[in-house]
């Protein structure tokens, strides 16, 4: 008897859950969610201060307008960020076809991966995961070390042995902690770069021939003050007794990466996508209390956007 009652209860719960899922699908269609995430991740790097972050801010403002939020406000403030100015690796004696694009990693505290005027040159060596055993047979002093990105903080082994620069090869997949271990909170002067998987394979194929390869590197990353924006919109409360109470719903719309120039942030767009859906819902279903929708930037720069709002 008890078992039968339990089955009925579970069936009822399952039916209720299915109905809830279907209701959510109607309120926030998967196609629209996908379109919003793809829009944000298609703007380029959304690190605060980068062009993609400005495009995202304009997108949020336009969305708030289309949803018909009241009292839309844009507040501007400045942030200090490392700006990738571009750079390349050129194999000695090679033509344009042997030039590889370099992307700088996040600075070691304040020390960026900028190279001196005229760049640097050195022997290109493939160090794999840069275990000390991987360096057997190499003279690392002054060399350019090519290595796997998924290697923890083994790049410090190269630093201990005097390499001139480290170049990480894009992996098939990685995890957050790998990125966290590629920079320090002290200004160690060791340039670190990222190359695409295709470019990394090209360099490794050249090295696999057994030829001695020298490479010339040029790159610049500068700290700059650049603008960022908070965007706010509101839906006035419906209840005359409660409308003076205000609820703030917030999400950031910027993104972050250990490679600042490469921060499309698809996963990091989920929050702002949800905020826009909530705005649409409450626009159609007016709340008792006033709701303010706050889209902030510079979340990954010490919560600068939220701090500015407060």
Fold classified for 84-222? Glucose Oxidase; domain 1 (3.50.30)
pLDDT for res 15: 74
pLDDT for res 93: 75
Backbone angles phi, psi at 86, to 5 degrees: 100, 160
Spell out the per-residue pLDDT of the chain, length 310, in tens: 555 554 555 556 677 677 766 766 677 789 999 999 999 999 999 999 999 999 999 999 999 999 999 999 999 999 999 999 999 999 987 666 689 999 999 999 999 999 999 999 999 999 999 999 998 989 999 999 999 999 999 999 999 999 999 999 999 999 999 999 999 999 999 999 999 999 999 999 999 987 789 999 999 999 999 999 999 999 999 999 999 999 999 999 999 999 999 999 999 999 999 999 999 999 999 999 999 999 999 999 999 999 999 9
Residue found under tokens 């003076």? 244
* Residue pair 262/170 in contact by the 8 Å Cβ criterion: no
pLDDT for res 261: 98
* Residue pair 35/277 in contact by the 8 Å Cβ criterion: no
DSSP three-state, residue 235: strand
Calpha distance 73→94 (Å, rounded): 53
pLDDT for res 7: 56
CATH (residue range 29-80+224-309): 3.40.630.10
- Each domain of the chain, given as residue ranges in start order, spans 29-80+224-309, 84-222
pLDDT single digits (tens) 20-46: 667 666 777 899 999 999 999 999 999
Calpha distance 68→70 (Å, rounded): 6
pLDDT for res 85: 98
Q: Same fold for the domain at 29-80+224-309 and the one at 84-222? A: no
pLDDT for res 9: 57
Please report how the helices 30-41 and 270-284 are oriented relative to each other, as an axis angle in degrees rounded to 10.
130
Please report how the helices 51-67 and 30-41 are oriented relative to each other, as an axis angle in degrees rounded to 10.
150
* Residue pair 55/43 in contact by the 8 Å Cβ criterion: yes
Query: Residue 185 carries which DSSP code?
Result: S
Distances 84 to 51, 119, 147 between C-alpha atoms, Å:
12, 16, 21
pLDDT single digits (tens) 223-269: 999 999 999 999 999 999 999 999 999 999 999 999 999 999 999 99
pLDDT for res 4: 54
pLDDT for res 218: 98
* Residue pair 207/124 in contact by the 8 Å Cβ criterion: yes
Calpha distance 124→226 (Å, rounded): 36
Query: Residue 108 carries which DSSP code?
Result: B
* Residue pair 182/150 in contact by the 8 Å Cβ criterion: no
Q: Which helix (H) or strand (E) holds 91?
A: strand 70-91
């Amino acid at each position: 008897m008890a078992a039968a009652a339990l089955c009925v209860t579970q069936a009822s719960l399952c039916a209720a859950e299915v109905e809830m899922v279907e209701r959510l699908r109607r309120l926030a269609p998967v196609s629209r969610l996908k379109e919003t995430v793809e829009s944000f991740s298609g703007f380029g790097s959304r690190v605060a201060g980068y062009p993609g972050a400005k495009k995202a801010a304009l997108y949020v403002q336009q969305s708030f307008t289309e949803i018909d939020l009241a009292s839309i406000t844009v507040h501007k403030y400045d942030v200090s960020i490392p700006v990738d100015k571009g750079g390349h690796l050129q194999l000695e004696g090679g033509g344009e076809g042997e030039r590889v694009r370099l992307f700088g990693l996040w600075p070691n505290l304040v020390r960026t991966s900028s190279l001196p005027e005229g760049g640097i040159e050195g022997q290109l060596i493939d160090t794999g995961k840069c275990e000390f055993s991987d360096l057997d047979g190499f003279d690392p002093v002054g060399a350019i070390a090519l290595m796997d990105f998924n290697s923890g903080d083994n790049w410090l082994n190269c630093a201990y042995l005097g390499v001139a620069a480290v170049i990480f090869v894009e992996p098939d997949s990685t995890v957050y902690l790998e990125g966290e271990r590629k920079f320090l909170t002290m200004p160690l002067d060791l340039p670190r770069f990222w190359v695409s998987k295709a470019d990394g394979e090209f360099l490794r194929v050249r090295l696999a021939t057994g030829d001695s390869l020298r490479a010339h590197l040029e790159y610049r990353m500068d700290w700059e003050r650049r603008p960022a924006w908070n965007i706010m919109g509101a839906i006035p409360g419906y209840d005359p007794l409660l409308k003076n109470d205000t609820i703030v719903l917030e999400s950031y719309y910027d993104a972050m990466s250990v490679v600042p120039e490469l921060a499309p942030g698809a996963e990091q767009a989920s929050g702002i996508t949800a905020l826009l859906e909530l705005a649409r819902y409450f626009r159609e279903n007016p709340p008792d209390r006033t709701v303010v929708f706050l889209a902030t930037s510079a979340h990954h720069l010490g919560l600068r956007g939220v701090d500015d709002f407060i």
